[in-house]
Amino acid sequence: MKKGELNAQGTSLIFKRLGPRKVFLSGERKFMASFDSSKLSYEYDALIRARSEDDVCETLKLANKYKVPVTPRGTGTSLTGSASPVKGGWVIDVSLMKRIAIKKDKAMAIVQPGAVVSEIQKLSEKEGLFYPPDPSSLEYCTIGGNIACNAGGMRCAKYGVTRDFVLALEGFMPNGEKVSWGGEYKKFATGYNIRDLWIGSEGTLGVVTKAVLRLIPKPDLRWTSVAAFSSEKKALQAVRALLGEGLTPSILEYLDEDSIYCAEEIAGVRLFKKVEGKPLLLIEFDGSKSELRDSKRRLKGWAERWAIAFKGARSEGEAENLWEVRRKCSGAMFALGNAKLNEDIVVPLENQIRFSESLKRLKRKWNLPMPTFGHAADGNLHVNIMFHREIREECVRAEGAVQDLMETVVSLGGTISGEHGIGLAKSPFLRIARNNAEIFAMQAIKKALDPNGILNPGKVFEPYHVWEKNPVAIRLPWDKKPILKR
Ligand SMILES: Cc1cc2nc3c(=O)[nH]c(=O)nc-3n(C[C@H](O)[C@H](O)[C@H](O)COP(=O)(O)OP(=O)(O)OC[C@H]3O[C@@H](n4cnc5c(N)ncnc54)[C@H](O)[C@@H]3O)c2cc1C
């Protein structure tokens, strides 16, 4: 039987078994699951809205029998196309499986994959506990998606990424067999650690249906401050000095001069009266009253040595005002171009200054704005290459710029993605960051665990030509509102 016929048989069977409440063969809901935040939309056969583990199991078993590709999906906030069903088949949306149970005595959260990250945080905090990972999309994205992408966020500066808070995973192998990697305990040394192989595997090795998350005591207090520097070089030197002094900010965000231009000149947010156009560090400390007292004292000493201006928030309201600069600069970038390549590269701290110089060279060479901000403590920066999609020649330059950027970060000992993953958008660059032996090892694992190539095919390894596909013109709830002038 031909593949198309086999797939069609499988689709009619899954519809019969799970019914029209769970399986959608057409309509708006199905269309909206044909792309993620990258807006690269693909035709596919059926959307399955799983409500239970049995639904996931049934879907994968049938998919294997009828050789249907299956793309797992949370909320679709991925920025790389990792949740777009590029090879058609079925999308399995697990966002309805969203139970959360907080176990205070064990400091754990037991969650289903569709639990929204901000909900996990709220429920943990009610019990005096804390789940630190905080991707900016946290009001929308699911824990299943965060695990699949090993999501990061601003608080990685002190606490680390999603992986650092996952104690155990439960779910289904690509062939529909149930597995669990760990349990409601904090230690295991019982065979291979496949839990960590699943984390960051972008839905290509298994479908997560339950996770045990590690929680920590909720910090009593937070304190936000901002420092301006005479140059980008000085700001980046100051980052290393701060960390070298043993200070441990929960957040340490860098905004380069171009980002500041967007915030100040376009969005009209100005934090210092007498200093303009200068790079900033936004700094947050958390902890007990005495810890914060100590951090404040030491930070003020550091600021006197390094910064040209410094301001600490005296209230929650003032702290919110300081964060405005970070929030608004993203929207204001759209005054520089109506399309953005939002990269999330990593460069080791010792090479950040060389990277900042290289970035200036890239901007001149490709003649495109590239405002850059991000997580200074771990060297994970968002380089935003701005261009106009309707101007073909600008697209060609943006394509050249991103390739050049990736080669530059790898030559500086860094890597091409720190938190968004590879998906479709970064697949052409995987070979810059990984050698043949490394890619062979990864593909061998994929073949061993998913011999029929069912789960999320076409992602990570197969170079994808993002420029040949027009994104759908649709506004998503989390899209930043463009700020074109103040
Ligand atoms: C405005 C905005 C801000 C963002 N900020 C950040 C940020 O600060 N840090 C950061 O790291 N990312 C950020 N992201 C990217 C995105 O939110 C994350 O990658 C997030 O982890 C995706 O979660 P999701 O539920 O939307 O997953 P989806 O987009 O639905 O899926 C993402 C990937 O996970 C797989 N997947 C989903 N659920 C499962 C499951 N149960 N089992 C197996 N695989 C699964 C999918 O197949 C896909 O490969 C941002 C995105 C937006 C739009």
**448-484: pLDDT as tens digits:** 999 999 999 999 999 999 888 999 999 999 998 898 8
In a domain, 443, yes or no: no
Same domain, yes or no, for 230 and 208?
no
Assess whether pLDDT exceeds 90 at residue 65.
yes
CATH number at residue 340: 3.40.462.10
Instruction: Quickly state the pLDDT bin for 196 (edges 50, 70, 90).
Output: very high
Asked whether residue 485 carries a pLDDT value surpassing 80, the answer given is: no
Question: Which residues, other chains included, contact 352 with Cβ-Cβ below 8 Å and sequence gap of 6+?
Answer: 236, 239, 240, 376, 379
CA of 388 to the centre of ligand 1 (A): 26
pLDDT band, very low/low/confident/very high, at 39 (cuts 50, 70, 90): very high
Q: Are 18 and 156 within one domain?
A: yes
Q: How confident is the model at residue 241 (pLDDT cuts 50, 70, 90)?
A: very high
State phi, psi for 216 to the nearest 5 degrees.
-125, 165
Q: What is the mean pLDDT of residues 422-447?
A: 98
pLDDT at 181 over 90: yes
In this prediction, residue 37 carries a pLDDT of 97
Structural domain containing residue 334: 222-417
pLDDT score for 477: 96
For 303-341, how does the pLDDT look when each residue is reduced to its tens digit (9 = 90+)?
Answer: 999 999 999 999 999 999 999 999 999 999 999 999 999
225 lines ligand 1 (CB under 6 A): no
Of the residues 372, 396, 417, the one at which a domain ends = 417
Mean pLDDT across 366-382: 97
pLDDT over 90 at 387, yes or no: yes
Mean pLDDT of the 230-236 span: 98
Residues 104, 82 share a domain: yes
Please check the confidence at residue 486 and state whether its pLDDT lies above 70: no
- Same domain, residue pair 243 and 203: no
Ligand 1 atom nearest to 143, measured from its CA? 25
Residue 343 CA, ligand 1 centroid: distance in Å: 15
204 with 265, same domain: the answer is: no
Q: Give the tens place of pLDDT for each residue, 120-173.
A: 999 999 999 999 999 999 999 999 999 999 999 999 999 999 999 999 999 999
Q: Is the pLDDT of residue 30 over 90?
A: yes
Q: How far is the CA of 67 from the centre of ligand 1 (A)?
A: 26
pLDDT for residue 1: 79
Ligand 1 atom with the smallest distance to the CA of 480 is 1
Residues 434, 438, 443, 446: is their CA dihedral positive or negative?
negative
Contacts of 361 (CB under 8 A, 6+ apart): none
Specify whether 288 is located in the same domain as 238: yes
- 276 within a domain of the structure (yes/no): yes
Same domain, residue pair 261 and 183 = no
- Domain containing 73 — which CATH number? 3.30.465.10
Which pLDDT score is estimated for 3?
84
User: 227 alpha carbon to ligand 1 midpoint, in Å?
Assistant: 31
- Residue 47 domain flag: yes
Average pLDDT of the chain to the nearest whole number: 97
pLDDT above 90: percentage of residues in the chain: 96
Q: Are residues 276 and 199 in the same domain?
A: no
The DSSP string of 179-235 is: EEES-SSS---SS--HHHHHTTSTTSS-EEEEEEEE-EEPPSEEEEEEEE-SSHHHH
Residue 447: inside a domain, yes or no? Answer: no
- In this prediction, residue 481 carries a pLDDT of 86
Question: How many domains is the chain partitioned into structurally?
Answer: 2
Do 91 and 53 lie in one domain? The reply is yes
Q: Do 308 and 275 share a structural domain?
A: yes
Q: What is the rounded average pLDDT of the residues 48-73? A: 98
Confidence of residue 4 (pLDDT cuts 50, 70, 90): confident
By alpha-carbon position, which residue is closest to atom 13 of ligand 1? 135
- Distance separating alpha carbons of residues 92 and 63, to the nearest angstrom: 11
Q: The pTM is what?
A: 0.97
